[in-house]
């Protein structure tokens, strides 16, 4: 029996993965990461449910305390980003540095296993011609999570299994019910773990960043209103500006140094191109010349045609066929060739 370590969050997806692999004859070991500090955090309920699933399946369950890693790589990362006027994307950072990396290391060093499995909706293919592991979209496009997985290295992909990549979400719940898992009807998480834990992103940030009043201005510097902290705003935001204007206004810039929120109409909130840094080429080697692809600049955005131009120092320039609304520094841009993830990175300031 091949030994596999299943990352268990206590949700229905990871629970179903443990049951599926156990049923297929794998030697399953459950592993739950303790991520957040503080009594009553959301991890607490998840750890209990994960333990129950392992008990039901008759498999070992390990809990690894990586709260310090989560604090430095995610909490501090978010606070630093928002205070600097960008909108960080924590999930891809968390997957690589907090979840997959530590889990695979623990599996190899402590549990004598070369494989980990998670409940992510994505697929992995090994291309013998290129000698690379390829990250592919899930069959269930409504649940596809490759946007958050673009930063996984070849080593992490080689050691990972995604059993739900070819399964519809409704089928996952049916499988969980078939195995009589107590998580079969558990409500799905609707937001970032930190948001769910704190009630809102604003409430989370207010624990770390003090209010700091400043001006809301237009592109010419005219003062239109007042804000209580640039960290409460993001590019493309329309609601909550508190400004009366003859046409809708959107946040088009955040100047943390001058403590200003810059607003404009929709035309000023579109961009024909953007630069992307910290690029990870996933399913192919870095090209030496521009390539055509489709890019997503948000998790739920539709992929749009672009030209990706390689630059030095793990950077690219993305040129959109048509200018795009609300390109947000700090978020990920992930480009695809059909169902294959070619690469991705973090959108830079304009």
**Residues with catalytic annotation?**
94, 193
Contact 329, 347 (CB under 8 A): yes
Q: How many CB atoms lie within 10 A of CB 142?
A: 9
291, 307 Cβ separation under 8 angstroms: yes
Rounded Cα distance, 280 and 240, in Å: 35
Token readout for 87 is 């909108």
- What CA–CA distances, in Å, run from 328 to 251, 276, 301, 348? 10, 11, 12, 8
Strands (E), 53-173: 61-65, 116-117, 122-127, 132-137, 160-161
Sheet with 116-117: strands ordered across: 61-65, 27-34, 3-7, 116-117, 160-161
């Amino acid at each position: 029996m091949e030994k596999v370590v299943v990352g268990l969050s206590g949700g229905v997806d990871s629970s179903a993965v443990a049951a599926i692999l156990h049923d297929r004859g794998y030697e399953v070991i459950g592993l739950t990461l303790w991520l957040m500090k503080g009594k009553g955090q959301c991890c607490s309920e998840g750890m209990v449910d994960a333990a129950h699933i392992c008990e039901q399946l008759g498999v070992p369950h390990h809990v690894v305390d990586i709260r310090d890693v989560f604090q430095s790589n995610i909490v501090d990362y978010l606070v630093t980003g928002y205070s600097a006027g960008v909108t960080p994307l924590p999930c891809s950072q968390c997957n690589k540095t907090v979840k997959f990396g530590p889990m695979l290391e623990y599996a190899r060093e402590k549990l004598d296993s070369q494989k980990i499995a998670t409940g992510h909706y994505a697929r992995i293919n090994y291309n013998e011609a290129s000698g690379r592991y390829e990250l592919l979209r899930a069959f269930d496009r409504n649940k596809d999570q490759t946007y958050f997985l673009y930063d996984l290295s070849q080593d992490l992909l080689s050691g990972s299994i995604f059993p739900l990549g070819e399964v519809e979400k409704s089928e996952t719940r049916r499988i969980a019910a078939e195995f009589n898992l107590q998580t079969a009807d558990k409500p799905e998480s609707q937001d970032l773990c930190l948001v769910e834990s704190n009630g809102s992103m604003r409430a989370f940030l207010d624990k770390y960043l003090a209010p700091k009043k400043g001006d809301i201005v237009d592109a010419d510097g005219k003062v239109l209103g007042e804000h209580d902290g640039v960290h409460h705003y993001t590019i493309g935001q329309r609601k909550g500006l508190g400004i009366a204007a003859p046409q809708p206004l959107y946040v088009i810039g955040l100047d943390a140094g001058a403590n200003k929120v810059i607003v404009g109409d929709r035309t000023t909130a579109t961009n024909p191109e953007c630069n992307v840094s910290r690029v990870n080429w996933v399913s192919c080697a870095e090209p030496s010349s521009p390539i055509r692809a489709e890019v997503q600049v948000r998790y739920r955005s539709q992929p749009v045609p672009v030209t990706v131009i390689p630059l030095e120092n793990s950077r690219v320039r993305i040129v959109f066929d048509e200018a795009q609304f609300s390109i947000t520094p700090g978020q990920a841009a992930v480009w695809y060739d059909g169902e294959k993830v070619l690469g991705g990175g973090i959108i830079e300031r304009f």
